[in-house]
Amino acid sequence: MKVYQSNEIKNIAILGSSGAGKTTLVEAMLFESGIIKRRGSVEGKNTVCDYFPVEKEYGYTVFSTVFSVEWQGRKLNFIDCPGSDDFIGAAVSALNVTDTALMVIDAQYGVEVGTINHFRYTDKFHKPVIFVINQLDHEKADYDNAVAQLIENYGSKVVPVQYPISCGTSFNAVVDVLKMEMYRWKPEGGVPEVLPIPEEEKEKAEALHQALVEAAAENDETLMEKFFDQGTLSEDEMREGIHKGLITRGMFPVFCVSAERDMCVRRTLEFLGNVVPFVSEMPKEKTVDGIEVAPDASAPTSLFVFKTTVEPHLGEVSYFKVISGTIKEGDDLVNADRGSKERISQIYCVAGQTKDKVEKMMAGDIGATVKLKDVRTGNTLNAKGLDYRFDFIKYPEPRYRRAIKPANEADAEKLSEILTRMHEEDPTYIIEHSKELKQVIVSGQGEFHLKTLKWRIENNDKLPIVFFEPKIPYRETITKSSRADYRHKKQSGGAGQFGEVHLIVEPYYEGMPIPDSYKFNGQEFKMTVRDVQEHQLPWGGKLVFVNSIVGGAIESRFLPAILKGIMGRMEQGPLTGSYARDVRVCVYDGKMHPVDSNEISFMLAGRNAFSEAFKEAGPKILEPIYDVEVSVPSEKLGDVMGDLQGRRALIMGMNSEKGFEKISAKVPLKEMSSYATSLSSLTGGRASFTMKFSGYELVPTDVQDKLLKAYEAQQQEE
């Protein structure tokens, strides 16, 4: 493949729901552009893009796949993305490094939840969108219904460029209202006959042509004036108007294809080559310091690595976008994130598993390289002296978590290495080695996301693993004030140990004042505050340590030891062994011995005094609460609401969004364990949700009783 300039390159993400036929469309595009001589199929497990073993096993896309085609003197870089919401991270990455989205719609179902989720991201990143209605040859295909749903969801910006003469098994012709021609295919598809529009279709075609002319004119004042003067626009003027409308998201053109029968794929590629914006026409990328970087091939070189994989026969492959400059074989670059030096030994233009070497790539292009020493997804590689760093990919929060361990405990270290690699390949896998829970927790976007991880570890790495329900990171706190004192005394020949601590504990909230005195059992304890220390706890919340000692009852040199003892006890609360938080401790008195007092004595005295006081201060268990947002078809709202309420959800609000209801709720993490699976079952896979940590709240009394009994039983077993 020749070297293309920045103003000859177009980058396009292929999006859409699972089953819409994206992989089949890609095969047809590669065939029409001459990259492959024979089209593969998903059933035959021989497609260019779905080449990983796990994809062949499951029969649909798991990883995003880069491929490039040459068309009419332009280079079109595509990234084919998985349709399943479990693999949304791949679509997010792709949209960040491409400039246009080709949204594939299944003619049987129209707008599906995958369409809505992917479109939401195109809106967030302000990317142009072209809709392609696929599978028009299916017996249940309904083009008119699909277009009606698109207009219902996305308004009058949805403008057909083509429509089929008929849908279903008889589909073989479309009317193109931009070129005002009809295309008709033989059963084998490919190059169509170009024919005049039949008389019976002329009225419909003229009406849609006029609507397209008006939509194109709306995006440019000069074109609007011509339209008012002449009542129409030329084909080139319409193309210019559509081009400008795409860039501003002022219109969403609609095309027709049957990817499986290779009908209208060539015309779609022609439109993409002519009308989709070039890299140089889209907004510039910004560094983390806010510097705008133009795709200028003559500027210093900077690459952004948006994807890494381990591939058969190649090892680790790094996929990059050239943000600025020109990258050549043999270039030495510096990793801005990790400080390492990297040599680019080979540069590849990619078509799925096939990788063709090229000498160089210009700004805006997308390619791959291999055998980099220390490069991860999201890293920036710069020419010497350049200090750009890009960090524009923000992945969604995980929604499904499981504890993981090897079937053989001796393989724990090997599993840890594999999980680290998996996270580097797919940053939406979050790996946590929880000291608190004594578990390795892997979080992802859904059950199938983690099922895929398990399949790959067991089949590719030959390491049997076990998934199981993770523990919940509860917290403990107190609900009232209490007082305790403790004397630690030990004498066993020679120097002894002596330390006595008197303290008060109380629940803490931000900004609360320190009282002048406390009363317990009719006795008043006056406070003279000497010092206040606020400690942000690593597990959340605070410990506030107040020194109210008067008269030198305890020397100040022993206070850090008392604090250490208290902190140690907070790491293992008395109710369930969970971390304690949001407590204020006032040390107001104590005793010491001129010879036997030391740090260890006061650490133990402080620890035990705190423990006794904590138990008498109305201790309560806190549980993690998540903000959950569910997007559900209106007819399934009742079922989903009922299920949420059964999960102790607190409904915070609801609003409608084009046939879908959006529910906002606060839900305990304990109740979200299998929510992804349940929601899919309740709605036939048509709903989606997001979840994000909100905070900790007290558990209900009945739940606390169950937790206490379970912890007690566990302690007895141990």
The kind and range of the H/E element at 23 are: helix 22-32
The whole-number pLDDT of residue 375 equals 93
The dotted CATH code for 294-382 is 2.40.30.10
Tokens of 94: 């792709």
- Checking DSSP bridges between strand 366-370 and strand 292-293, what pairing results, if any? unpaired
| 468-512 pLDDT per residue, tens | 999 999 999 999 999 999 999 987 766 789 999 999 999 999 989
Fold of 621-703: Alpha-Beta Plaits (3.30.70)
Categorize the per-residue pLDDT at 45 as very low, low, confident or very high, splitting at 50, 70 and 90: confident
Residues 6+ apart with CB under 8 A from 633: 659, 660, 661, 683, 686, 687
473 phi, psi to nearest 5 deg: -80, 75
**Pairwise CA distance, residues 381 & 51, whole Å:** 28
Average pLDDT over residues 511-526: 93
Site of tokens 């209490």: 482
Question: How far is it, in rounded angstroms, from Cα 148 to Cα 133?
Answer: 12
pLDDT at 37 over 70: yes
Domain 477-612: top CATH class = alpha beta
We find that the CATH architecture of domain 8-197+250-281 is: 3-Layer(aba) Sandwich (3.40)
In the chain, what are the domain boundaries?
8-197+250-281, 294-382, 400-471, 477-612, 621-703
pLDDT(659) > 70: no
| pLDDT exceeds cutoff 90 at 186 | yes
Residue 589 has pLDDT above 90, yes or no: yes
With beta carbons less than 8 A apart as the criterion, state whether 49 and 74 touch. Answer: no
pLDDT at 353: 80
| Distance between CA atoms of residues 107 and 133, nearest Å | 6
Residue 43's pLDDT is what?
79
Q: What is the per-residue pLDDT across 59-92, written as a single tens digit (0 to 9) for each?
A: 778 889 999 999 989 999 999 999 888 899 999 9
Residue 127: band (very low, low, confident or very high) from pLDDT cuts 50, 70, 90: very high
Residue with tokens 């089209």: 39
**pLDDT digits 0-9 by tens, 536-565:** 999 999 999 999 998 889 999 999 999 999
Residue appearing with tokens 């001459």: 34
At residue 668 the predicted structure's pLDDT band, cuts being 50, 70 and 90, is very high
Region 400-471: CATH code? 3.30.70.870
User: What tens digit of pLDDT does each residue of 138-151 get?
Assistant: 999 999 999 999 99
Please tell me if the domain spanning 400-471 has the same topology as the one spanning 621-703.
Answer: yes
Predicted local confidence at residue 493, as pLDDT: 66
Q: What would the pLDDT profile of 295-335 be if each residue is shown by its tens digit?
A: 999 999 999 999 999 887 788 899 999 999 999 999 999 99
Burial zone of 271 (CB within 10 Å; 0-12 exposed, 13-18 middle, 19+ buried)? buried
Checking if the pLDDT of 658 tops 70, the result is: no
Which residues, other chains included, contact 164 with Cβ-Cβ below 8 Å and sequence gap of 6+?
A: 136, 143, 171, 173, 174, 175, 256
Which residue type, as a one-letter code, is found at position 239? R
Can you tell me which residue has the tokens 């009945």?
702
Per DSSP, what are the bridge partners of residue 525?
518
